[in-house]
Chains A and B, each alone.
Chain A
Amino acid sequence: MNKITYREALNQAMCEEMERDANVFLMGEEVAEYNGAYKVSQGMLDRFGPKRVIDTPITELGFAGLGVGAAMTGLRPIIEFMTWNFAILAMDQIVNAAAKMLYMSGGMYKVPMVFRGPGGAAARVAAQHSQSLENWMANVPGLKVVMPSCAADAKGLLKSAIRDDDPVVFIENEILYGEVGDVPAGEYTIPLGKADIKRSGTDITLVAHSRMTGFALQAAEELAKQGISAEVLDPRTIRPLDERTILQSVAKTNHCVIIEEGWRFAGIGAEISARIMEKGFDDLDAPVLRVTGKDVPMAYAANLERMTLPSVAEIVEAARACLGRA
């Protein structure tokens, strides 16, 4: 095991895959000479040269589409959005082109590419720079949606995403970029569509992805002090969703709280709780509860921002309510 940051893990994944396959290239705003707005691509220009690590103008729709065309003709683009907020400008290429190309071309044109960058709230950057779009993306057949919560997952999942033959939406988290984690030494990949039990427990299942996985682990720590054994499950891939592992956990604990940073309406928690209701109803001893971001645009003021995001205290409270110990 090596101790490296989430950011370094992503960098290693891209470098290893670019060494492995000459068709892989990285393109986006400030990825080359600036070494990445968040330094994820640090050193890659020096290592791979300007043909494979390419700075673009500020033109998200254009370079997202460039990635689609390049992927259709056999390359494996990694298209970096400085943040996913800006990917909204590229939605036509992601949803109408990348996601549907294989289907509407009757299976002729694969689109093996990765759209990646940080999503979710950063710190004090207000409404337009703090939001979660994974439910938009996961709604679209043809896309895969991956959201790592730690360095080891970031590396293994990004390597799989780059090798995948479908368009993969890879949503990182800005706050997590500096987090250090244990990463296996040497070559490894993590398959897409496999959840991970981050902490075993018997009383309640906490399902959380991306930055909320850390919040759920802190909540589980707190619940343990109160005599409650919480299992923390990170789906890691939102689509395809590892329903099986979620249902197995709920069958064991009979209780479930789903935590997500994004808005509640038609969110990832809504989808997972519907799935549990449809397929695991008899395993439930209580309704599934959700802890989500508040249903408002993100404010700038520190207190309002804090109130908007889910908190460890809210997760603990929801778990206790679910278990009838509120």
Chain B
Amino acid sequence: MATKDDSKQARMLAHEGRDYPLNTLHEMHDMMLFIRRFEEKAGQLYGLKKIGGFCHLCNGQEAVCVGMQHASRPTDYVLTSYRDHGHVLARGSDPVAVMAELLGRSGGLVKGKGGSMHMFDIERNFLGGNGIVGEQVPIGLGVGFSSWYREDGRVTLCIMGDGGINQGGVYESFNMAALWKLPIVFVIENNQYAMGTSLDRASAETHLFKRGISFKIPGMQIDGMDVLAVEKHMSEAIEHARSGQGPILVEAITYRYRGHSMSDPATYRTREEVDEWRTGRDPIARLENLMIENGLATEDEFKQKDREIKKRINAIAKEAEAQPEPDPAELWTDVYASPINDAYPYPGRVD
């Protein structure tokens, strides 16, 4: 349990055997709150039809995004599914570029070509944003393979959901990752529902952390609504992978407050169930309470922060919305690495 540090000067929180400096706690808190407000803004803009297509929000799952990033290094690789806004923001990508991408603008993170589901940031070793359920797992296998091949000491964080875990390619990847002892942490964000299908309607074994057993991949189940637990256990898992012991599987128990995507009214679950998670286990409120209880922050401080973050988000949305749509010439770029001039397809030319 949390205990208050005797020396107020140290401004540290000792929690479950780990010491967290105050600024780290604030960073975690602020990023979680930032993601929450960012997603709310995205939901609003979707309602106004300014964001189109599929838009999968991660409200409720912020602790997984943030705890994981605090446990990893900037040189480590991250890839995930289409529910990617929170992860890419936690990774440190420019929020204006992320918002501009949602809006399909020229300054979008991937130039307006990917949208909500396809966030990439090569500067931050963030490899998508992959839209086909489970598709990122074989790709993540290859990213981990690269590190093994080059012995670069990096770890790959390969994230999937409780839906993705049932895809065949996941088990093909588990097998090879274990066979060759690749430095990969497979993370399952178990938010209880694969679109509208609850875990127990889709999975014969609902303890998803056991899904690696027949590949000799150790697994652990963690509280994905507690950012400090995520940070602690992800640190252990990343250390395991980095030390050459091979892959490891982490199942983070979490919950999404919103529907699967913006078009989902989520009638497959009760309001009581959603409220129970939102009010009882919310990762942001939980960290706030812990900090307040330990005299490390006050409620007013958090209220003030929330006002500032909302203001920042409004400014980000405004800046992103002010950008033009992509230049029409962008239609023909990035199909091939170099333009093809002497043979069909001719870039940009339609006769």
Chain A residues packing against B (C-beta within 8 Å): 25, 51, 56-57, 59, 61-75, 77, 92-93, 96-97, 102-110, 112, 141-142, 144, 164-166, 193-194, 237, 239-244, 275, 278-279
Contacts and interface: CB of A to CB of B under 8 A. Distances in A.
B87 to A, nearest CB: 15
A62 B343 contact: no
A75 B146 CA distance: 7
Contact of A69 (B132, B140, B333): B140
B181 to A, nearest CB: 13
Interface string B107-149: 0111111100010111000011111100101111111111101
B176 interface: yes
Nearest to A60: B172
A104 B113 contact: yes
B168 interface: yes
B108 A106 contact: yes
A68 B142 contact: yes
A74 B137 CA distance: 18
B139 A97 contact: yes
Interface of B: 77, 79, 108-114, 118, 120-122, 127-132, 135, 137-147, 149-150, 168-169, 172-173, 175-176, 179, 333-338, 340, 342-345, 351
Contact of B336 (A68, A69, A102): A102
B176 A141 contact: no
B20 to A, nearest CB: 32
Residue of A70, A93, A109 with most chain B CB atoms under a 10 A cut-off? A70
A102 B337 contact: yes
A109 to B, nearest CB: 6
Closest 8 CB pairs of A and B: A65-B138, A69-B142, A62-B172, A106-B110, A165-B337, A106-B111, A240-B343, A193-B343
B77 to A, nearest CB: 7
Contacts of A67: 142
Contacts of B342: 193-194, 242, 244
Given A73-B146, A107-B334, A240 B344 contact: yes
B344 A243 contact: yes
Nearest to B174: A62
Contacts of A51: 149
Given A51-B149, A73-B146, A278-B351, A93 B139 contact: yes
A104 B139 CA distance: 15
A178 B213 CA distance: 45
B343 A243 contact: yes
A41 to B, nearest CB: 18
29 contacts: A56-B176, A57-B172, A62-B172, A65-B138, A66-B138, A66-B142, A68-B142, A69-B79, A69-B145, A72-B142, A75-B150, A96-B132, A97-B135, A102-B334, A102-B336, A104-B113, A105-B120, A105-B129, A106-B108, A106-B109, A107-B334, A164-B337, A165-B337, A165-B338, A193-B342, A237-B343, A241-B343, A242-B343, A243-B343
Residue of B130, B140, B343 with most chain A CB atoms under a 10 A cut-off? B343
Contacts of A93: 135, 138-139, 169
A65 B135 contact: yes
B143 A142 contact: no
Given A105-B114, A105-B118, A193-B340, A279 B351 contact: yes
Given A57-B176, A102-B334, A104-B110, A92 B135 contact: yes
A105 B128 contact: yes
Contact of A63 (B176, B334, B335, B340): B176
A47 to B, nearest CB: 17
